[in-house]
Amino acid sequence: MFIGLNETVRGASHVDSGTVCQDYSAYKTTDGYAVAAVADGHGSKKHFRSDFGAKSAVEVTIKAIDEFCADIDEFEKKFMEDPDYLITKIQKYIIKSWYDVVNEHYNNNEVKQEEREKLTDEELAAIKTESIYGSTLIVAVLTENLCFGMQLGDGSLVVIKQCGESYMPIVDDESCPANLTASLCNSNAIKMFGYFYTYDRPLTMIVSTDGLFTSFSSKESFEEYNCLIASQLDDPELLKARMNKNFVRRTNSGSRDDISIAMIFEKEMFDENYINVQMQVDINKNKAAIREAEEKAKQLKRKARVEQIRYEKRMMEEAEKRMLAQKAKLREEMESLEVEVPEEADTSSEVVSDVSE
C-alpha cells in the first residue's frame, strides 16, 4: 500500500508583506503507483500569477502520471524498454498541459490593476503570457518495480534508501545561465529538466521547494533532516503537525521563504526497514556532532591565527617605534657633536720673507 504526505507553509516574508503563498504541494496514491509533487512560483514582479502557475504545475503533473500509469503493467514494461524516452515524453506532456492551462486562465481572467500595479504598460506588453505564471517543478514517482524523479528549477529531491541512507540524485543544472531560474515558462524548459530513475526500491522519496533547503547550513544537514523525517513516517498525521511547526520556525528564523514538501512511500517496505532508518538517524547525529566539533576546531584555529597576526603586527609596530626613537636619539647626539672650527690665519707670506732673508 502506497502512502503519501504533504505540507506547505506560507513564508515569513509573504506574511509580512501580505502577499499570497507562491508554493504548492500535493500527492496521489493508488494501488499501482504513487506520485508526489511540489512547485515554487517565481517571486519577481513580472510573475504576478505564479501562485496559480505553481498550483497548475502540480495538478497537471499528477494528471499526467495518472494517464501514463493508467495501465501500470504496460507502463512499467515500456519504462524498462526505454526509460529516457518515456520520462522525456512525460516531461513534454507536462509542459504542454501547463501551457494550455495557464493560457486558458489568462484568456478567461483579465489582468487587474492591483496585479500589474508595479508594471508600466510597456513592461506588461513585453511579458510572455507564460512568464506571468512562471514556476519550478519537482516530482517523484514510485511503483512496485521502479521509481523516478524529475526536477525543473531549484528545490530538492531526496531518496531514502532501504538501508536508511539519504541522497540527492538530481544536481542543479550548471549549464543554466547565471541569474536564470529554470522554469516551466522558459521556451527551452524541456532542456532544463533534470531526472533520474532506478529499479532499486527506496524506503521513501521526498520532494521539497528551496525554502526548506536554504534554511540549512549545509547539504549534509539537509539530507540528514530528510532522514529524520523518514524515521517518523510510522505516524503520518503526527509528522505532518511536527513539520508544520518546524517549517514555521524555519521560515521565520531562516529562509523567510514559502516551504513545501511532499513524500511517498510503500508501507510494507517502510515497516520492513524501519529499524534501518532509526539506526541511520543515530549515525547522522554522531556525524553532525563530529562536524560541529571540527567546525569549532576550525574557528579556534582561525581565532588563534588572528591573534597571532595581531601579536606580530603589534611587535612590528613596537619595533618600528623603538627604531624611530633610536634614530631620533642618534640625530640629537650627532647634532651635539658638531663644533664650529675657527678660521686659521694666512702666514704663507711671512714664511716666504723669512726664507729670503
Average pLDDT, the chain: 90
Write the DSSP symbol of residue 180: -
Beta strand 156-160 with 166-167 is: antiparallel
How far apart CA 155 and CA 313 sit, in angstroms, is: 47
For the segment 230-249, the average pLDDT, to the nearest whole number, is: 96
pLDDT > 70 fraction of the chain, expressed in percent and rounded = 92
Q: Are 152 and 98 in contact (CB under 8 A)?
A: no
Per DSSP, the three-state class of 270 is helix
pLDDT > 90 fraction of the chain, expressed in percent and rounded = 72
pLDDT of residue 180: 59
Per DSSP, the three-state class of 303 is helix
Structure-model confidence comparison of residues 327 and 81, the more confident one:
81
Q: Are 6 and 260 in contact (CB under 8 A)?
A: yes
Band of residue 173 on the pLDDT scale cut at 50, 70, 90: low
**pLDDT(350) > 50:** no
Structure-model confidence comparison of residues 26 and 321, the more confident one:
26
* Tens-place pLDDT, residues 8-45: 999 999 999 999 999 999 999 999 999 999 999 998 89
Among 13-22, 30-39, 252-261, 302-311, the least confident range: 302-311
Give the list of residues 6+ apart from residue 179 with CB closer than 8 angstroms, or none: none
Per DSSP, the three-state class of 171 is coil
> Look-up: residue for cell 499528477?
62
Among 12-21, 255-264, 324-333, 344-353, the least confident range: 344-353
For the segment 286-302, the average pLDDT, to the nearest whole number, is: 86
pLDDT of residue 179: 46
For the segment 216-223, the average pLDDT, to the nearest whole number, is: 94
* Tens-place pLDDT, residues 57-83: 999 999 999 999 999 999 999 999 999
How far apart CA 27 and CA 209 sit, in angstroms, is: 14
For the segment 77-99, the average pLDDT, to the nearest whole number, is: 98
Measured CA to CA in angstroms, residue 171 lies from 156, 296, 312 at distances of 9, 29, 45
* Tens-place pLDDT, residues 140-158: 999 999 999 999 999 999 9
For the segment 209-235, the average pLDDT, to the nearest whole number, is: 95
Q: Are 229 and 207 in contact (CB under 8 A)?
A: no
pLDDT of residue 175: 43
pLDDT of residue 347: 47
Domains and CATH numbers, the chain: 2-294 (3.60.40.10)
pLDDT of residue 129: 94
